[in-house]
Structure 1
């Protein structure tokens, strides 16, 4: 049985991406971006985090 990493904001981009919510604040967007940068440390989450960070959607 495989152990999968917990889902991250980059994996649930549509649900948690502040750019999807019209009422998002700059602080919420900053927290989201910080979380994605932290995910760069985890090899299992790195590809998704890089993909989201490379787009201008944050």
Structure 2
């Protein structure tokens, strides 16, 4: 996955909820990464998880 690190790619990911951002982050530089390429099942589970996160904020 491409990010802003010197190597321009990372294999160290952090999964963290945030309103208005995809839940995948580079663990080195903190860059927000797009979901993918991962399975449709995992993508849907992550999207549902993020949507539940936003419920308590509203």
Q: Shorter chain as normaliser: what TM range? A: 0.3 to 0.5
**Structure with greater helix percent:** 1
TM-score, scaled relative to structure 1: 0.39
TM-score, scaled relative to structure 2: 0.39
